[in-house]
Amino acid sequence: MTRILLIAVMLWTLPVRASQPDLVLKGHLTNSNHQTYIQVPFDVPQQTQRITVKFDYSGKQERSVIDLGLTGPDGRLLGWSGGNKSEFTISAVDATPSYIPTPIHAGRWHLLLGIPNLRKMSSSDYEAHIFFSKTLGASDEPDVISKPLKAQAGWYRGDFHAHTAHSDGSCNRWNSSEKVPCPVFVTALAAAKRGLDFMAITDHNTLSHAHSVRELQPYFNPMLLLVGREITTFFGHANVFGTLADINFQVVSQESDSNRLLQDVAAQKGLISINHPVRPSGELCMGCGWNNQTDWKKVQAIEVVNGADVDTIFSGVPFWHSQLNAGHYITGISGSDNHQPDQEKPNYTGRVGQPSTVVFASELSQNAIINAVRQGHAFIDITGSNDKLLEITAQSSGGEKAMMGDRLQAAKGTNIQLRIQVKNAAGSNVQLWKDGKKWSLDLDNHITRNDQTIETSWSFDGDAHWLRADVQDQSGKTIMIGNPIYLHSK
Ligand SMILES: [Zn+2]
Ligand SMILES: [Zn+2]
């Protein structure tokens, strides 16, 4: 009895992962249904943006077979997966292969069942679980289609910025040196070969790549493909993640429209990252620098390092620092901004995965990666390595602990212990920053081993500060950029 109770309590306290279906359709089929088609009706409510179906049936050991398809409210066939898939999703932007992306209209839809075989003495019970998503937000996707690719918390490295055939990405045709619009597959393959944990596709002002990504994801498991878009305006560029909803990119007034854009992204629970903020804007690259009036409370990230800014690769850092100094909590990330995934020059920033951003996420999933950026649990690896690590923690003498991105509250005079762990960068040096200025504590900042932790402490003066660390190689070139820990007085 005690044991049963214990199990019941444990189940109750576990996070509920599997979301419940909005509708369950059940049916019983017999030999009278052999080699027929059956339309199973269901009503799609107003404001539905995505339909996801999970289908199963009994009797497979007796060779019973039920094939699956879908028709819309006007009777049009929207796809047929036969016996090859037990679950699928469909929205206006993307759909599981076998299905056609289609705007979801409320009304009577049908599952189309085909029964190629049901023996004379056999029967089969089927069950279809149907999920209706009210938004095209990543957090509104049922678990059926957004399972984590790795369940454990950890550091995951990836690239937040790349272009394909769906905008101005190009590569050589497979058997010649002729440049052609480059399929998403080539970028994804380059990322997988580099050992990335996640790769974002961010074409300009479009999400037409989302459907390709849906097809490619199983092939590249466990590398996560993220669907983003680069909102490209006359006054600046910004990547948006976490939503496939329409966002109006047509900013024609710097003052009113740019904040409307940020509000639209916030309303869709999207994550926005301002790209290459100080790239010169002119006829070579119209609207490339960020020149918008900005409500910074609505901005979660800045692309501090952009791989295409070859000669001015750190130009985003002072821009980021000035926002941090103004009191905004904004995560520094990076992106290769790759446009030619088949260019594989070694150590060339701008190739797929260089620079990379390494985030500490609760699992490898779209929502967890986005959350990690929101929380600032991230550092930038300019070398795009597979193994470099920069971890910074602060601990007050009261025992409270913070990692990059966190806020630490302490009373004036409290001793703050700083720990900086650097992996796989022997020969480098650590540089601390406080409120945008280089900060030299009494610190032996030289890294001589492949896994080294530097510790130092500081008596907190009670003012609000942000602290962060970079790592520089022997020649003084920055190779890793850490995010801030924010200090506040109690
Ligand atoms: Zn851009
Ligand atoms: Zn770009």
Structure tokens at 291: 């020149």
On the CB side of 236, CA atoms within 13 Å amount to 25
Tell me how far the alpha carbon of residue 154 lies from the centroid of ligand 2, in angstroms.
28
For residue 445, the 8-state DSSP code is: -
Tell me how far the alpha carbon of residue 237 lies from the centroid of ligand 1, in angstroms.
5
On the CB side of 409, CA atoms within 13 Å amount to 1
pLDDT for position 346: 67
Establish whether the linkage from the previous residue to 355 is cis, with ω within 30° of 0: yes
If one counts every other C-beta atom within 10 angstroms of the C-beta of residue 69, the result is: 20
Q: Which of the following CATH numbers is that of domain 149-386: 3.40.50.300, 3.40.190.10, 3.20.20.140, 2.40.50.100?
A: 3.20.20.140
Structure tokens at 457: 């402490």
H or E, element range at 256: helix 256-267
Burial class of residue 330, CB neighbours in 10 A (0-12, 13-18, 19+): buried
Tell me how far the alpha carbon of residue 378 lies from the centroid of ligand 2, in angstroms.
21
Tell me how far the alpha carbon of residue 84 lies from the centroid of ligand 1, in angstroms.
40
Spatial distance between the Cα atoms of 207 and 219, rounded to a whole number of angstroms: 20
Which ligand minimizes its atom distance to the CA of 163?
2
pLDDT for position 288: 85
Spatial distance between the Cα atoms of 193 and 203, rounded to a whole number of angstroms: 21
Which ligand minimizes its atom distance to the CA of 279?
1
Tell me how far the alpha carbon of residue 48 lies from the centroid of ligand 1, in angstroms.
32
Tell me how far the alpha carbon of residue 332 lies from the centroid of ligand 2, in angstroms.
16
Furthest CA-CA distance within the chain: 85
Which ligand minimizes its atom distance to the CA of 168?
2
Tell me how far the alpha carbon of residue 170 lies from the centroid of ligand 2, in angstroms.
13
Which ligand minimizes its atom distance to the CA of 238?
1
Spatial distance between the Cα atoms of 225 and 213, rounded to a whole number of angstroms: 7
Long-range pairs, 364-368, Cβ under 8 A, ≥24: 364/148, 364/149, 364/150, 364/156, 364/197, 364/198, 364/222, 364/224, 365/146, 365/147, 365/148, 365/149, 365/224, 366/138, 366/146, 366/224, 366/226, 366/241, 366/242, 367/138, 367/139, 367/146, 367/242, 368/148
pLDDT for position 62: 96
Domain boundaries, given as residue ranges, for the chain: 23-140, 149-386, 387-490
Q: State how beta strands 23-30 and 36-44 pair.
A: unpaired
Tell me how far the alpha carbon of residue 320 lies from the centroid of ligand 2, in angstroms.
18
Which ligand minimizes its atom distance to the CA of 336?
2
Q: State how beta strands 50-57 and 123-133 pair.
A: antiparallel
Whether CATH 3.90.245.10 fits 23-140: no
Whether CATH 1.10.3860.10 fits 387-490: no
pLDDT for position 40: 98
Tell me how far the alpha carbon of residue 201 lies from the centroid of ligand 2, in angstroms.
10
Which ligand minimizes its atom distance to the CA of 274?
1
Which residues fall within 8 angstroms of residue 82, CB to CB, at 6 or more apart?
Answer: 67, 68, 69, 98, 114
Tell me how far the alpha carbon of residue 326 lies from the centroid of ligand 2, in angstroms.
27
Which ligand minimizes its atom distance to the CA of 167?
2
277 neighbors 233 (Cβ within 8 angstroms): no
Tell me how far the alpha carbon of residue 162 lies from the centroid of ligand 2, in angstroms.
6
Tell me how far the alpha carbon of residue 178 lies from the centroid of ligand 2, in angstroms.
22
pLDDT for position 36: 98
Which ligand minimizes its atom distance to the CA of 337?
2
pLDDT for position 347: 63
Tell me how far the alpha carbon of residue 75 lies from the centroid of ligand 2, in angstroms.
41
Spell out the alpha helix ranges (H) of 153-248: 184-193, 210-220
Spatial distance between the Cα atoms of 231 and 210, rounded to a whole number of angstroms: 15
User: Interior CA angle at 174 toward 168 and 176, to 5°?
Assistant: 95
Nearest to 471 by CA among 407, 439, 427, 413: 427
Tell me how far the alpha carbon of residue 277 lies from the centroid of ligand 1, in angstroms.
9
Tell me how far the alpha carbon of residue 276 lies from the centroid of ligand 2, in angstroms.
9
If one counts every other C-beta atom within 10 angstroms of the C-beta of residue 281, the result is: 17
pLDDT for position 398: 86
Q: Which residue has the tokens 């597959």?
A: 185
184-193 and 210-220 are packed helices; what angle lies between their axes, rounded to 10 degrees? 30
Per-residue pLDDT of the chain (490 residues; tens, 9 = 90+): 334 333 333 333 333 334 899 999 999 999 999 999 999 999 999 999 999 999 999 999 999 999 999 999 999 999 999 999 999 999 999 999 999 999 999 999 999 999 999 999 999 999 999 999 999 999 999 999 999 999 999 999 999 999 999 999 999 999 999 999 999 999 999 999 999 999 999 999 999 999 999 999 999 999 999 999 999 999 999 999 999 999 999 988 887 888 899 999 999 999 999 999 998 778 877 788 888 788 999 999 999 999 988 778 899 999 999 999 999 999 999 999 999 999 877 667 789 999 999 999 999 999 999 999 999 999 999 999 999 999 999 999 989 999 999 999 999 999 999 999 999 999 999 999 999 999 987 778 999 999 999 999 999 999 999 999 999 999 999 999 999 999 999 8
